Structure 1
Amino acid sequence: MLKLKKVKSFFLQTLIITAITLILSEITFRIYHKINPTFLFTDRSYNRWRGKPNSQDFDFTLNSKGFKDVEFTTEKPEGVYRMIAIGDSFSFGIVPYQYNYLTLLEEKLNQNNQQIELINMGIPGMGPKDYLSLLINEGLEVQPDMVLLSFYIGNDFMDNQFKAKERRWDKSYVISFVRSLIKLQTQYEGLIFNPSNSLTYVDGAPTHTDEFYLNDTKNKSNMFVKNPADDIFEGYVKDAVNDIIKIQEICDYRNIKLVVVIIPDEVQVDQNLQAKIIEMFDFDEPDKLDFRLPNRMLQETFQKNNIEYIDLMDEFIAASRQTRLYKPNDTHWNIAGNKLAAEVLSKKLLEKDSNLSQ
């Protein structure tokens, strides 16, 4: 009996100590995140993955707002045509600053001694609702003449839903911290940085394991299924587009030009990857997947609402037959993909807006 009491006492003490530890950890994490925001914890704003102001990104220093760009003034300089680029990790880019498609695009638009300023406001992890918030909170005050909004097919349809779900489950900072550590340990295989020099980018190194990347691509590819059993994805599209329509309304009211860049997922342009994904689905019908379906849905809605857009899919399909355009086992463009995007956008933007060529 005495031994049983000791066991019960031990477990009770352990439970109390564990509870106190978790409570103190929760308080500590919340205080730390308030002072020094980090991606390890869920953030209700669009700032979870925002760059830390004046921190290093390869051989480039982020500006004082944490954007991957040089410093800029709130007041637009006289005689300058100002563009702001809003997007997620595609806009921020996994490549160094000098290879980023927005950096290259600004250079191309200024080749004939133009006075065009393109401010990269890309923040990783954002979605359509965040694009709207960023425009209202930070974009409008810099008096842009154009908003260049990059919409990534691979996750921007689902981002609103996923982030809402993540916020519900990750109200605890301790749980969020543990989940983030597990993801970092299990999902990432390759090197983005060269271990001998943390300021060196390795373009050919894989980011994720083969298994993780294929499974993730397969899960995303449900959006390409013809005649699905439910209309869940259609609802995702409507939700995402509604936020873009709100952005269009704001831009129209402020006399700002809006152009949406439709960024294809790798599986839409790489035939070898397509073949692997089709095999994983194991459909009776070989053409059950329509890799252009989401783009058509976007285009139809944009045309209906007079939203200008540039779809990069055809150019990327053509170029991918000779050149790899995405980093291995990664959803993002490599150096070649960024270069191609800048070339296509430069040409099509000049066609769309005469102010860029004056």
Structure 2
Amino acid sequence: METLLPVYTFSPLFRPCFIAGIIAIIRIQMSRLNQKKLKKLAKKVWGNIKTVLLTIRRKLKLIIALILLFAVVLFLIVELFSVLLIKKLGWNYEPAYLRIIKGYTSSNLVGGRTEYHSWGSWNVSNYSGRIANNCFDIKYNFNSYGARDKERSKEGQNRTIVLGDSFTEGWGVPQDKILAADLEKLSGKEYLNFGVSGSGTGPLNEYVLYRDFASEFEHDAVLVGFYPGNDFKDNDPVAWGGSTTVYYRPFWKLTEDKQDIEIVYFAKQEEGKFLPGLEPENRTPHFKIYQGAREFSAFLNLLVVLQNYKISLSKQSATQFAYNLEVSEDAKQATLIAYDKFAQLIGDKKKYIFVIPAASDVFYYLKTGKAKVPQFEEFKDSLTSQGWQVIDTIDAFANLPEDKIPEYFICDGHWNYKGDQLVADYLHKIIDQ
């Protein structure tokens, strides 16, 4: 008897489902086999990788140790070379690790400059600091009364008071090589340095400084530096604009007939006020990081020092000449009145004004064939009529070989220690001989 299977067994849908199931079972089995093989292979590969990594790690430790040793040796060689070369170039720099050993700390004159005295910018007594910028890196020390000078008594014979701005103070020059120190060595006489940098030191600042303080020191002569580049503007309230209310310093105000000046102050006097920008707390994290790197690397400072020897000034590039007196008539008149008051205050003592040229002035002077500027010669004649002996030091530089002139300036146009020595020799021949 024929057996009849259920109809659904032979349904067209059954066959593909059955085949698909068989294929799925086969794939699952194959997958399990492949997974075992893959795991075994992966384990073997990872074992090989670990072996290689361990080998590399051992060798890497040795390589790193050798690199660090090489870096330390290279650092010491470069630092030693940098320190010696800086000294050879006549700069007064020591990296922080040497200063720490000697007990000297540096703060870039933060908290070292004040501006609350009647004459404006002055310095904190017994302060030690440092100025480091793109042109130089120099130690600064102020004595017990705030001058960049050795300690002086108020009594003494055959002494000269020296006043002026940053050139006279010795901007960027080691203290034992500034102008006053050089003059003292050459003459054997005392030259008391009251030159001061800051927010701009002009004739009125120097007059008030002498009147209210420097004149207390016994002396026989007064030597004042005059820089035409900014001394006409340093006490001009018009030139300062809105900044007059920021800085406590003397400004002039001409009378209606322009025959006299009144000394005026626009900012409020605050005892102990620091020069704006040099307050102890006014240091950003970025500045501290930058300064810290400079503090600890003689090589970084060597790069700065070398910029001093890259002055690109020449006859062709010099486009400004401070002696042209491109200032207002009021500024010229007020400056002459200030110097006249100064001369009267000094009285019968010898009084000298030495004219200060910047690097650009020297090259412009050469560019024009050492031509004298009539209006500046007239200005000097007016000073002479007041009783001043005026000494223009531009010829001290202009008589040098032109390719040697940059060696006497730092990169911002101030004199370096060689420039100070050159001017000291020039002045000494006139003043002391």
Q: TM-score band, normalised by the shorter chain?
A: 0.5 to 0.7
- The 1-side partners of 2:394 and 2:182 are apart by 19
2:159 to 63, 82, 106: 82
- The 1-side partners of 2:330 and 2:378 are apart by 12
- The 1-side partners of 2:356 and 2:243 are apart by 24
Gaps of 5+ in 2: 1-109, 131-137, 248-266
Matching residue's letter, 1:340? L
1:240 to 335, 338, 346: 335
1:64 aligns with 2:164: no
Partner of residue 425, structure 2? 343
Per-residue deviation, 1:325: 5.0
1:141 to 198, 213, 216: 216
1:100-130 deviation digits (Å, cap 9, x = unpaired)? 12111110001xxxxx211001111311111
TM-score normalised by L of structure 2: 0.53
* Residue pair 2:168, 2:196 contacting (<8 A) in 1 also: yes
- The 2-side partners of 1:334 and 1:294 are apart by 29
Matches within 5 A, 1:14-33: none
* Higher mean displacement: 292-301 or 118-127: 292-301
1:205 aligns with 2:307: yes
Matching residue's letter, 1:262? V
Q: 1:107 to 1:269 in 2, by over 3 A?
A: same
Q: 1:169 to 1:99 in 2, by over 3 A?
A: closer
- The 1-side partners of 2:323 and 2:380 are apart by 15
- For these two proteins, the number of residue pairs brought into alignment is 273
TM-score normalised by L of structure 1: 0.63
* Residue pair 1:205, 1:327 contacting (<8 A) in 2 also: no
1:224 aligns with 2:306: no
2:387 to 281, 302, 306: 306
* Residue pair 2:220, 2:349 contacting (<8 A) in 1 also: yes
Gaps of 5+ in 1: 1-35, 111-115, 276-286, 352-358
Matching residue's letter, 2:245? R
- The 2-side partners of 1:316 and 1:237 are apart by 26
Partner of residue 265, structure 1? 358
- The 1-side partners of 2:235 and 2:180 are apart by 24
* Residue pair 2:351, 2:387 contacting (<8 A) in 1 also: no
* Residue pair 2:203, 2:235 contacting (<8 A) in 1 also: yes
* Residue pair 1:92, 1:123 contacting (<8 A) in 2 also: yes
Alpha-carbon RMSD across the aligned residues, in angstroms, is 4.3
* Residue pair 1:268, 1:291 contacting (<8 A) in 2 also: no
1:167 aligns with 2:244: yes
Q: Report 1 or 2 for greater relative contact order, CA contacts < 8 Å, sequence distance ≥ 6.
A: 1
Matching residue's letter, 2:166? S
Partner of residue 91, structure 2? none
Give the greater-gyration-radius structure (CA): 2
Identity %: 23
* Residue pair 1:203, 1:335 contacting (<8 A) in 2 also: no
- The 2-side partners of 1:129 and 1:265 are apart by 21
* Higher mean displacement: 55-64 or 338-347: 55-64
- The 2-side partners of 1:325 and 1:48 are apart by 30
- The 2-side partners of 1:137 and 1:42 are apart by 15
- The 1-side partners of 2:357 and 2:245 are apart by 29
Q: 1:245 to 1:317 in 2, by over 3 A?
A: same
- The 1-side partners of 2:340 and 2:410 are apart by 34
- The 2-side partners of 1:194 and 1:91 are apart by 26
Partner of residue 5, structure 1? none
- The 1-side partners of 2:363 and 2:195 are apart by 25
SS in 1 for 2:229: coil
SS in 2 for 1:319: coil
Partner of residue 91, structure 1? 168
